[in-house]
Structure 1
Amino acid sequence: MSKIHFGTVALVLLFLGCSQISGDGPASSLRLDRAEALVSDDPHHLPFDAVEWERVALPDAWDKTRPGLSGGVWYRIPVLISGQVNEPWAVLLPRFSMNAAIWWNGRMLGSGGSMSDPVARNWSRPLSLLLPADSLEQGEHWLYIYLRALAHDAGGLGYVYVGPHKYLKPLFERNTFIHITLAWVALVITSVITLVMGVLWFLQKKHLELFWMALAGLFWSFVIGNQVLKYPPVSHYYWEWIVFSSLGGFTVCLLMAVHRFIERGNEHLERAIVAIYVLNSLLALAYSGGNLVIWFNFFHIASIALGFYMVCLCLWHYRQTGMIKALWMGMAISCAMLFAGHDWWVTIHAEHLTSLFVMQFGPPLMLLLIGGWMLMHVSSSLRSQEQQRLEAEEKVAEISIKLQQESKRRLELERKRILTEERHRFTRELHDGMGGHLVALKSMLAEKGAEADNAPFSEVLDQAIRDMRLIIDAVGDECDDIGMILGLLRSRMEHELKAADLHVTWNMISLPAGCLLREGSSIHLVRILQEAITNIIRHADASWVEIRATEFRQGSKSMVRIDVADNGEGIVQKNSRGRGIGNMEQRCEVLGGQLSVEGNPHGGTLVSLTLPCREL
């Protein structure tokens, strides 16, 4: 609410400040308020000998003294210089309409533009010209001014000032700033707001209030342009029609924007107002007979009525809903109507050639206030949408990652399923085919008798059958748990170890559950341990063997050490290592581990295998 109070106070102070600006000149200059006037359409020849001159008081407003006049009027004013002039002098016309040319003692000084069609339009543009230095002697001088205006252009001449240029220049610059420079600033502000709202509406088409505010700003740009444009791009009549139509179009578009801004539309009312506006504009263009001012008075009255309607609607909506933006818009429109009410009071009760008109500044300020609120609202909406977009993108990315992970998981499961089926098929064929042949061959040897002669063959067949079963167990079940692999190896080699009369100790107490090898590499561990135990049985001449498994940490990795120790003859020379140890080392490399085979000085051999555990 503090922002609303600050904006209201600022607008009221600006309005009061503008209303206090007057056209009074400096005390050291001559303010001429008496003249003689002569109606004439000849702007080139001074009517020295004319007898139709009539005395008039300045300001001379044609709508009161010469209603409906379209053409020109000569003014002549005697100027008495009572002393010696030692500095540049000038003549200043603060307010006149539409164009003026100035003569001093019959010498033309200059003009405000073209006197022929199209006539230069100087609604509020002051005119200041230097007087010739050689014609400022003491005595009476004659100042001639020719004024040209078209009908219904509010033609007229305000006060005329003659005096030192250094005193009149500040007055000229002040009037130029107030009436021209500020009008250009208002036009630029209106155009920028219109462009920004138009672009935002193009990007966010759901915010129709931006479209209507942009269109209202476009209409008002023509109204302000009428104050600063000297030569319109079309004829006087059509330009006046564009300006008056723009005034009505601004009000209609503002109504559309208000309805959408406070979300309180009335479709039937909107259609009726648009239809009346379009119909009245077209009728004025076709049947006005050149007098657009009278025809468009209807627009002025309707605009005031719609302004009160919009203010009341916004305030009522604020009271019903507490919506701050409704109060803000109502106050902004009230400020614009305050400016318009000032100009209406000046037109009815004051002299327009000496008063300041401020209505052209009201709508730009209103557009600035409402547009700023809308921009903040749209900016907040865009930020919210951007946040939602980012959140949606994050969710999509998260879902995409999950889908990819799920896809990888499904592919991995499918791969495992296919691999398991293939392993089962392989082991089944191996068991049913090769296993059946080996068992059949053993039966045939048993049937022939002579067990002593067939004993070596039977022993080899038994070893082959046990070896085949061990392979089937290692490959077919796809077990990567080290503890289960050691247990499987124990069950398959128990008979062979007993037959060798070896005392076997399996020490796996310090091996926790869940120590896994690389996937699909269990056969290599089985073969390494099988080779180590087989070497003990065949070559070590040992009486006991110990198989020990221990888990430990190496940095951040979990490792397993498997030792196979015996009390046999041991390995004395490295050169005595055969092909079996080489195969063990190759398999250990596949497992990503290290293998060491060392002879014990006190007898026996120690085979140590260090392997990394796979992380789940």
Structure 2
Amino acid sequence: MALHWRKDWPQLLFAILVLQALYWLFLTPVFDPQTRPLERILPIAYEVATLASPDWDAVEAAQFEATDVPWEDCCEEGYRAFRVIFELDTVPREGIGEVPVVGADNYQAWINGSLHYGAGRMVLPDLTYHGRAYRGIHRLPAGVLNVGRNEITYILASHEGTGGFLVAEPTLGEYDQVVATFNLRRFLLNDYLQICTVVGFLVALLAFVAWARSGRQGYLFWLGMLSFSWAGMLFHEDWADPPIGGRLFMNAVVPLGVMIPAAWVNLSNNWAGRPLRFVLPLSMAGWLLCIAIFLIGNFLDPQNDAGPMALWAFSGAMAVLFAGLILWKMNWIARDRFWEAAIFLLLAVMSLRDYIGRIFDLNIGTQTDYALPFLLVALAASFLSRNIRLFRSAEEINALLQVQLDERTAELAVAHDREKILLSQQAHQDERRRIMADMHDGLGSQLMSMLLSARRGNADPAQYATGLQSAIDEMRLMIDSMDSVGESLAAALVLFRERAQARVLDAGFAFDWQQEPSAPLPQLPPRAVLQVFRILQEAVTNALKHSSGDSISVHVSAAQITISDNGDALGKVRTGGRGLDNMAARAGSIGGIFELERVGEMTVARLQLPGDDEGADTA
């Protein structure tokens, strides 16, 4: 990976220096501003206790012990109370502002026995993570403060293996001064990070869509993976009420966190061509190994450092490899990639800076999360601007070929459209006539009969209920018949079974379906399939209306379909009705035969199916 001198190095160096200067001299101070002077109220003592339950009664009964800050207790499940004691000579009129430094899955904050912060659920195991998601300023009202001794009590709750408990010295001062000092920090840690999360997911979506539509370019895929992993990490930090909890929830984000350095390396490897073959398998092997070490170590002993050390080692190796790949590729990149190279080199410097800060525990801040959305958007925009000419050329070629193809196929397309319109119009007219006939003969006659009975005073409520149920059944049958049932008889039977079973069970009947698996069903055209579907619907409706039994069975074979019920013998209401005539007519129209008969103790509606050729001819 040796560097060679190129004639346009000055232009590349200019882009690198300009971007580095813009970030470190102008953008970084925005994200890490100098805090305003604040007259702090210093705590005089700290106390800690173990609680039996997360409530104030348990706090009053607890035995507190003196401690110091920062205080940490890892990683058992349970409840703790941490007390911060401070004194006031006078009570500020606007109250006290408090910036807590609390690490727990969830917590409540009390001042002198009065609750002033609490969100979500505090009782194990149904615990939410509002304590880890909240990064704000508490206001301690003047009405609950005392001249002299005051106590802030944090009631802490944590799952096992989620990091335990941590409390550091809070920042206390007059409320207006605290807000003026920390307001920007509150915005950056809450609203701004939520904006970053949305930007990250949007860039990921854009990159994945472009990757899917541009020949599966590796650069776009890894840009999407990087954006998605980073946004997923931010989303995890703010997810206060996830569907899973405890150690499983905390470890679910590990693959995303380890993916970020791996995605950086593969993104740089696929940038500007000439990707090295060993980079992808090496980074993926390291990714899997790091995840395994982290998860196994965490489940065996949450307090061991094997997982974090593996992550730091992997991140450091990937940061060095990332920077090396960028420097190596600067040997041949074209001028239209100079600003992209400057962005990548800035990201490499930021990654190495964050890594060094973590290894040596340097308080240098981590502005990567704040700046990354700007850089990701810049990378996506530079890719689009660089490739827009290629997209335009491809579109011009496609347009020319499309014109030639349209000229040769215009007449065929016009004829096909005309025939399709005619067939659609005919089908619509046929369906309109069928619906009108069904409404007139079925629903209309039912409602007219009920109207005449009402006028003459010959019907009681039970008859009205029966008549209305019949009208509803007719309407349901008409609506169901308007749906598409599929192109084949097998598909139509699947849909019929689903609808019939739900309807039969809702009516209080038992439902049994038997189908001979080895019997091939006839291959009927779509219109014939629709007629079979409607016959079966009406047969089920007829059984539900008139059967005195409690069971309906369907049997399907290659030659026939039967619908049986264990009701009593055929009565007048089950024979000679319009529904039976319609079913017989529908069967005849496709070359089949419909019969209603009594077989033993069963009433059987039988549909003889037409053959393949016969069904095609008559449909």
Q: Give me the TM-score of the superposition, normalised by structure 1.
A: 0.55
The CA distance in 2 between the partners of 1:257 and 1:348, in whole Å, is 25
Q: Could you tell me which residue of structure 1 aligns to residue 85 of structure 2?
A: 78
Question: Cα RMSD over matched residues?
Answer: 3.7
Matched, 1:256 2:266: yes
Matched, 1:103 2:115: no
Q: Could you tell me which residue of structure 1 aligns to residue 98 of structure 2?
A: 92
The CA distance in 2 between the partners of 1:313 and 1:92, in whole Å, is 46
Matched, 1:188 2:198: yes
Structure 1 residues 128 and 279: alpha-carbon distance in aligned structure 2, compared to 1, 3 A threshold: closer
| 1:194-226 Cα shifts (integer Å, max 9, x gaps) | 111122222212433212211222122211213
- Paired residues of 2:226 and 2:264 also in contact (CA < 8 A): yes
The CA distance in 2 between the partners of 1:368 and 1:387, in whole Å, is 28
Structure 1 residues 197 and 53: alpha-carbon distance in aligned structure 2, compared to 1, 3 A threshold: same
- Paired residues of 2:108 and 2:117 also in contact (CA < 8 A): yes
The CA distance in 2 between the partners of 1:379 and 1:91, in whole Å, is 53
Structure 1 residues 49 and 283: alpha-carbon distance in aligned structure 2, compared to 1, 3 A threshold: closer
Structure 1 residues 356 and 261: alpha-carbon distance in aligned structure 2, compared to 1, 3 A threshold: closer
Q: Could you tell me which residue of structure 2 aligns to residue 307 of structure 1?
A: 319
Three-state SS of the structure 1 residue aligned to 2:346 is helix
Three-state SS of the structure 2 residue aligned to 1:147 is strand
Matched, 1:207 2:213: no
- Paired residues of 1:68 and 1:152 also in contact (CA < 8 A): yes
Structure 1 residues 104 and 235: alpha-carbon distance in aligned structure 2, compared to 1, 3 A threshold: closer
Matched, 1:169 2:184: no
Matched, 1:378 2:387: yes
Three-state SS of the structure 2 residue aligned to 1:257 is helix
**Aligned residue among 48, 52, 66 for 1:37:** 48
Structure 1 residues 244 and 364: alpha-carbon distance in aligned structure 2, compared to 1, 3 A threshold: farther
Three-state SS of the structure 2 residue aligned to 1:30 is coil
- Paired residues of 2:294 and 2:306 also in contact (CA < 8 A): no
Shift of 1:180: 1.5
Shift of 1:361: 3.2
| 1:334-392 Cα shifts (integer Å, max 9, x gaps) | 4334444554455455588xx85434335434422322222222323212322444566
Shift of 1:190: 1.0
- Paired residues of 1:186 and 1:361 also in contact (CA < 8 A): yes
- Paired residues of 1:92 and 1:162 also in contact (CA < 8 A): yes
**Aligned residue among 332, 343, 350 for 1:332:** 343
Q: How does 1:102-501 map to 2 (within 5 A)?
A: 102-116=109-123, 117=125, 118-123=127-132, 125-149=134-158, 151=161, 153=163, 155-278=165-288, 280-281=290-291, 284-285=294-295, 288-289=298-299, 294-295=306-307, 297-319=309-331, 321-324=332-335, 328-344=339-355, 347=358, 356-361=365-370, 363-390=372-399, 396=404
Q: Which amino acid aligns with 1:26?
A: L
Structure 1 residues 342 and 49: alpha-carbon distance in aligned structure 2, compared to 1, 3 A threshold: farther
- Paired residues of 2:111 and 2:140 also in contact (CA < 8 A): yes
Q: Which amino acid aligns with 2:373?
A: P
Structure 1 residues 310 and 218: alpha-carbon distance in aligned structure 2, compared to 1, 3 A threshold: same
- Paired residues of 1:315 and 1:327 also in contact (CA < 8 A): no
The CA distance in 2 between the partners of 1:227 and 1:80, in whole Å, is 34
The CA distance in 1 between the partners of 2:229 and 2:91, in whole Å, is 54
Matched, 1:13 2:53: no
The CA distance in 2 between the partners of 1:33 and 1:349, in whole Å, is 31
Shift of 1:284: 4.9
Count of residue pairs the alignment pairs up: 390
- Paired residues of 2:315 and 2:355 also in contact (CA < 8 A): no
Structure 1 residues 120 and 71: alpha-carbon distance in aligned structure 2, compared to 1, 3 A threshold: same
Q: Give me the TM-score of the superposition, normalised by structure 2.
A: 0.55
Three-state SS of the structure 2 residue aligned to 1:88 is coil
Q: How does 1:576-595 map to 2 (within 5 A)?
A: none
Three-state SS of the structure 2 residue aligned to 1:144 is strand
Three-state SS of the structure 2 residue aligned to 1:289 is helix
Three-state SS of the structure 1 residue aligned to 2:253 is helix
Structure 1 residues 369 and 132: alpha-carbon distance in aligned structure 2, compared to 1, 3 A threshold: closer
The CA distance in 1 between the partners of 2:386 and 2:23, in whole Å, is 22
Three-state SS of the structure 2 residue aligned to 1:305 is helix
- Paired residues of 1:39 and 1:74 also in contact (CA < 8 A): yes
- Paired residues of 1:336 and 1:362 also in contact (CA < 8 A): no
Q: Which amino acid aligns with 2:116?
A: L
Shift of 1:235: 2.4
Q: Could you tell me which residue of structure 1 aligns to residue 545 of structure 2?
A: none
Shift of 1:189: 1.5
Q: How does 1:597-608 map to 2 (within 5 A)?
A: none
Shift of 1:329: 4.7
- Paired residues of 1:90 and 1:165 also in contact (CA < 8 A): yes
Three-state SS of the structure 2 residue aligned to 1:267 is coil
| 1:449-476 Cα shifts (integer Å, max 9, x gaps) | xxxxxxxxxxxxxxxxxxxxxxxxxxxx
- Paired residues of 2:75 and 2:165 also in contact (CA < 8 A): no
| 1:462-499 Cα shifts (integer Å, max 9, x gaps) | xxxxxxxxxxxxxxxxxxxxxxxxxxxxxxxxxxxxxx
Structure 1 residues 282 and 50: alpha-carbon distance in aligned structure 2, compared to 1, 3 A threshold: closer
Structure 1 residues 385 and 256: alpha-carbon distance in aligned structure 2, compared to 1, 3 A threshold: same
Q: Could you tell me which residue of structure 2 aligns to residue 409 of structure 1?
A: none
The CA distance in 2 between the partners of 1:342 and 1:18, in whole Å, is 18
| 1:414-465 Cα shifts (integer Å, max 9, x gaps) | xxxxxxxxxxxxxxxxxxxxxxxxxxxxxxxxxxxxxxxxxxxxxxxxxxxx
- Paired residues of 1:328 and 1:370 also in contact (CA < 8 A): no
Q: Which amino acid aligns with 2:389?
A: S
- Paired residues of 1:97 and 1:121 also in contact (CA < 8 A): no
Q: Which amino acid aligns with 2:107?
A: A
Structure 1 residues 33 and 21: alpha-carbon distance in aligned structure 2, compared to 1, 3 A threshold: farther
- Paired residues of 2:226 and 2:260 also in contact (CA < 8 A): yes
Structure 1 residues 49 and 272: alpha-carbon distance in aligned structure 2, compared to 1, 3 A threshold: closer
- Paired residues of 2:207 and 2:223 also in contact (CA < 8 A): yes
Shift of 1:108: 2.2
| 1:126-154 Cα shifts (integer Å, max 9, x gaps) | 34444354433533222222234454637
Q: Which runs of 5+ in 2 are unaligned?
A: 1-10, 409-619
Structure 1 residues 195 and 102: alpha-carbon distance in aligned structure 2, compared to 1, 3 A threshold: same
